Chains A and B, each alone.
Chain A
Amino acid sequence: MRAELVVVPVLLPLATAGLMLLLGEGRRTAKAVANLASTVLSLAAALALLLWVNQQEAAVAFGVYLPGNWPVPYGIVLVADHLSALMAVLAGCVGLASLLYALARWQHAGVYFHVLFQLQLMGLYGAFLTADLFNLFVFFEVLLAASYGLLLHGGGGARVRTGLHYIAINLVASLLFLIGVAVLYGVTGTLNMADIAQKLPAVPASDRGLLHAGAAILAVAFLAKAALWPLNFWLPAAYAAASAPVAGLFAVLTKVGVYAILRLWTLCFPESAGASAHFGGEVLIWGGLATLAFGAVGMLASQQLARLAGYSVIASSGTLIAAIGFDAPQLSAGALYYLASSTLAGCALFLLVELLERSRMVELGPQQLDDGQDQLPAFFDAAPPTGVNLDDNEDALIGRAIPGPLAFLGLTFMASTLVVAGLPPLSGFVSKLAMLSALLSLDGAAAWTLFALIIVSGLLAATGLIRIGMRHFWTAPDRLPPRLRVIETLPISWLLALSLWLVVCGESALTYTRKAADALHSPQRYIEAVLSAQPLAVTSGEQP
């Protein structure tokens, strides 16, 4: 593999976004084609990275690229390892699904949808691939700035109101991020993550308080993005107000915070870090548990599917953060598998929301007041409604065919429910099983609380989702089937097929996440791989 492949998923969306800006406000088709091509190609690049990383020996499974060709502690570094490649592929898969969905209708709701979408992808890929703390801040800002625009996509009071809260929260979180970065730089004198991790043991005892304060402030910024309780009150409202494809894409946004915590915490505060070993681990565990409980209760309390999907994102964040806090490789492996599965299912749920709402809109009937005729709408139909069982004995109507769209919605909703609630046979079950079996080998109240909460949250999620499913699919026999377009069904099928693939190839997927967890829990390999990277020899006597 050429090292340049690491930078492709960042540069390609950026170049595409720039190109689309040059195209002006029209040329929708050209922009849609460019967007789709760039999304598919960057996903392919991320997939190539993942396959390459998977083939390598554990000690050398790091694709390191130096964008400015500066020697390592001074220049920015991009690194693709197991975790980064997995997150990048996940972002690409979710991005492709959201884009396909948006191509049906939502792309027409605003002029700059495609540009913002590509910048969002660029920020996601960059945040997952960078190995420089300040560069991480820049990519965070890129993806956040794009997400502000995308959240407001479509307009309307609800979006602007929740968008204001979302932007204010994230601006404050970004300032905290900056403070944390500045303190870490002041203490260690470097911004390269591997270099920071290497220098931490040498920090004098007098500076250790400052170091911990900086790390804690940085963690608050990440945890606010990962929707840790109590920093997550903005999430359900904002995600429910966002347009369907944007909310689907946002399913991976909270995972950026989780990723940053996972990367930096395992790198900087491992078992071997001396006085700083496992700094803040208890906060991660109990904060994650509180978040999981909050998300589960929220799922049960939600009446709308959109809010329920938001709470399911919170619950999955909580599970992940709590699992990270234990710093156990087996548990982390299960958690990474769960991360993939829950992100795919969360995106599918957000995409389904609008389609289900559409089937309810059909029930209200076409708009009759503004049809141009001076006629009051009829209060009741002269003819008996079709499809209702008018038989006196209410005998079953045998052989009535379920309309195709309704069958599709019902089946995909059921499949998403199975994944989110962690019921067999889909990937949610495998991920929860992997985490539960890892938890059995850990002792302590926190491990048992997480064990119980994972099971109980599954029950609550199943209850909440089944209740909504019953309301949508069972209780309205005379409901007309909604009209779906094929391109709207494609992304949902794609996400659920990926989830199914995670089960069918469960062993290889779990092997991969196990390798990723092992790599995370032996940070020395990452540090060596990054610090041993050499800039390319410069030809023709130029200075680098």
Chain B
Amino acid sequence: MEVVISLAIGLMAGAGVWLVLRPRTFQVLIGLSLLSYAVNLFIFSVGSLAIGQEPIVKPGLPADLMHYSDPLPQSLVLTAIVIGFATTALFLVVILALRGLSGGDHVDGHGEPP
């Protein structure tokens, strides 16, 4: 499972970095989204990956990380997702505004060649 998660994080981060460095605004937006997915998965994975363990204390089981998954990274991911979603939406609005003002989708605001 660790290999699958790390491959997924690496793939998304790699694709995200490549897209962020592209000159078209929409590619940058998708790149930022992919990067934020990669980061969210990464935060999730620092809380020790486990199957079938929930972060809710049950009677009879000692409350340690051997028996439960860490609830904190999950709440951090939740916050990060909300913030990332809001800022991505805002970025999309700015991209549309730039498209309207410059007539092109270059990140530096150059218009399309006719």
Contacts and interface: CB of A to CB of B under 8 A. Distances in A.
A167 B35 CA distance: 15
B109 interface: yes
Interface in A146-181: 148-149, 152, 156-157, 160-161, 163-165, 167-168, 171-172, 174-175, 178-179, 181
A138 B81 CA distance: 12
Contacts, number: 83
A164 B46 contact: no
A134 B79 contact: yes
B97 A172 contact: no
A518 interface: no
Given A161-B108, A171-B32, A178-B39, A138 B83 contact: yes
A134 B74 CA distance: 13
Contacts of B80: 178
Interface residues of B, number: 31
B98 interface: yes
A186 B25 contact: no
B72 A191 contact: yes
B90 interface: yes
Given A141-B83, A178-B80, A185-B72, A157 B101 contact: yes
A164 B100 CA distance: 13
Contacts of B107: 164-165, 168
Contacts of B101: 156-157, 160-161
A527 interface: no
A186 B46 contact: yes
A394 B72 CA distance: 79
DSSP class of B's interface residues: helix, strand, loop or mixed? Answer: helix
Interface in B39-72: 39, 42-43, 46-47, 72
Contact of B90 (A138, A148, A160): A148
Nearest to B101: A157
B76 interface: yes
A439 to B, nearest CB: 40
A179 B109 contact: no
Given A152-B94, A161-B98, A168-B91, A175 B35 contact: yes
Contacts of B7: none
Contact of A172 (B32, B73, B83, B98): B32
B6 interface: no
A157 to B, nearest CB: 5
Contacts of A161: 98, 101-102, 108-109
Given A138-B79, A161-B108, A175-B35, A182 B43 contact: yes
A181 B102 CA distance: 38
B46 A183 contact: yes
Contact of B87 (A145, A152, A186): A145
Ranked nearest first, the 7 interchain pairs of A and B with the lowest CB-CB distance are: A186-B46, A161-B109, A182-B43, A157-B101, A182-B46, A141-B83, A175-B39
18 contacts: A141-B87, A144-B87, A145-B90, A148-B90, A148-B94, A156-B101, A160-B98, A161-B109, A164-B109, A167-B87, A168-B28, A171-B91, A175-B39, A178-B80, A182-B76, A185-B73, A186-B46, A186-B47
